[in-house]
Amino acid sequence: MVQNFDTTIECAKRLDSEDKLSAYRDLFQIPTNKNGEEEIYFVGNSLGLMPKESVNDVNEELSKWGRYGVKGHGAEGGEVEGPWVTFHEPLTVSMAELVGAKVSEVTIMNTLTVNIHFLLISFYNPTETRNKIIIEENVFPSDYFAIESQVKQRNLDPAEVIVKVPTDNKGVLDVTTILETIKNVGDELALVFLPSVQYYSGQVLPISKITDVAHSVGSLVGIQLAHGVGNIELKLSDWKVDFATWCTYKYLNSGPGSIAACYINEKHINRTDIQRFHGWWGNNLDTRFEMEKNFDNINTADVWQVSNPPILSMVPMKAAIDMIIEVGGVKILREKSIRMSVYFDFLLNNNLHEEIEVITPQDLDSRGCQLSLKVVSNRLSGREVFNALLSSGVSCDWRYPDVIRVAPVPLYNSFVEVYNFVDILKNILKKE
Ligand SMILES: *Cc1c(COP(=O)(O)O)cnc(C)c1O
């Protein structure tokens, strides 16, 4: 990539003036610090900001509840606009676009860890000889707890069946080691469960390659997209992954604890030889309210739905996801994201190369919005630097054992914020 950067604030301002997405920042409410100034909000990888439009949308839905009561469901064929019984349908269409899947392969339901449980019930089917699961050593605890408890539920020993791909001393995975581990476990391998973007290091994994190798040894592949969706381009159908799940409150800006989603490869949808935990929302709408006891399955990924969904949690997805589709999808976000990432690196290299190490891989295909910074200064610890950043009105986060995660998000962050962040960091690290 041609770089025409320099270390002046004018350069940051020029980059913002050339940015086609700069107008979108105004559509979000930016948190303010104690002086009433807008924070540098670099934690969209943890909780994305609120689109202002979502306030109206949620209020509108509440007033629908008030006006119509149960008729709001629209199950009895009333004239309610956007009836709740089919409320998820347009969102599923947009969601499928964001993850590169067919609409029939996507369903919106539950929350992320709950979905890992539901999907493992269907796709972790250990036999006497094929029962191992490959995960990464530095796996997110909630994912690990889900997997470990699912293994125990099958009366298997986690120490025997869970194989962890090691990370290097910085917390980064070596792709060759992942592929070798898959080949070595070979015909004992039941499932590979990995993130598309690793939460600690911000590393992007080559899911297509991993899936091909896993399939070649007869294993299934499940992918965690918590940090991938809305951040990097995804092509789940082309990559042929078997299943995936993601939350919507990080780069999808859909609100704290907002409803999650799943992808199930179409080849698995109508299988009768796998388990699913059923509920009435997986029953065809035509017959759902006849209250029959024979399950009449929907023939899309929606068959995994269990309960009638929390509509008020789903509503903010509308404005948030429409906005991403409107700009031209993640492809367009990614162009700015890469530019920001390269600029960020440039400033860090020029100002702080002796104090800060970026552990996120340099290669642009191996990183998304997030950079994970390790403080290598011998004057201040990482934790001290992090605390100083917080007191300077920067929102970023700390992950044990020793990284500061910062994620400039293309929809609402600016190049000037990146500049100011590095400037603040410089003041913290270089002051006498
Ligand atoms: C954010 C995140 C979660 C959160 O799980 P919830 O069930 O939504 O609370 C789980 N795993 C990973 C890897 C995450 O990044």
CA of 399 to the centre of ligand 1 (A): 14
Task: Report CA(129)–ligand 1 centroid distance (Å).
Answer: 31
Which residues have any ligand 1 atom within 6 Å of their CB? Answer: 111-113, 140, 142-143, 195, 199, 224, 226-227, 247
How many whole angstroms from 194 Cα to the centroid of ligand 1? Answer: 13
Sole residue written with tokens 């992007």: 204
pLDDT tier, 2 (very low <50, low <70, confident <90, very high otherwise): low
Alpha carbon of 247 to ligand 1 centroid (Å)? 7
Q: How confident is the model at residue 117 (pLDDT cuts 50, 70, 90)?
A: very high
Is residue 329 classed exposed, middle or buried when 0-12, 13-18 and 19+ CB atoms within 10 A define those classes? Answer: middle
- How many residues would you count in the chain? 432
Which residue has its alpha carbon closest to ligand 1 atom 1?
A: 226
Q: In the predicted model, is pLDDT for residue 191 greater than 70?
A: yes
Asked if residue 77 has pLDDT above 70, the reply is: no
The pair of three-digit structure tokens given for residue 27, joined into one six-digit string: 């559509």
What atom of ligand 1 comes closest to residue 115's alpha carbon? 7
**pLDDT above 70 (res 193):** yes
Residues near 49 by beta carbon (within 8 Å), at least 6 away in sequence: 28, 29, 30, 31, 41, 253, 409, 412
**Percent of the residues in the chain that have a pLDDT greater than 90, as a whole number:** 93
Query: Ligand 1 centroid vs 246 CA: distance in angstroms?
Result: 8
Q: Give the pLDDT of residue 143.
A: 98
- For residue 257, give the ligand 1 atom closest to its CA: 8
Looking at residue 74, its pLDDT comes to: 87
pLDDT digits (tens, 9 = 90+) for 25-34: 999 999 998 7
Calculate the alpha carbon distances from 294 to 51, 130, 260, 300 in Å: 42, 33, 28, 18
Half-sphere exposure (Cβ direction) of 157: Cα atoms closer than 13 Å: 2
User: 203 with 370: CB under 8 angstroms?
Assistant: no
The pair of structure tokens assigned to 111 is 């929350």
Kindly give the number of the ligand 1 atom that is closest to the alpha carbon of 260: 8
Which of 267, 239, 209, 262 lies closest to 96, judged by CA? 262
**pLDDT tens per residue across span 391-410:** 999 999 999 988 999 999 99
The closest alpha carbon to 372, from 336, 348, 354, belongs to 348
Any idea what the Cα angle at residue 221 is, between residues 332 and 177, rounded to 5°? 90
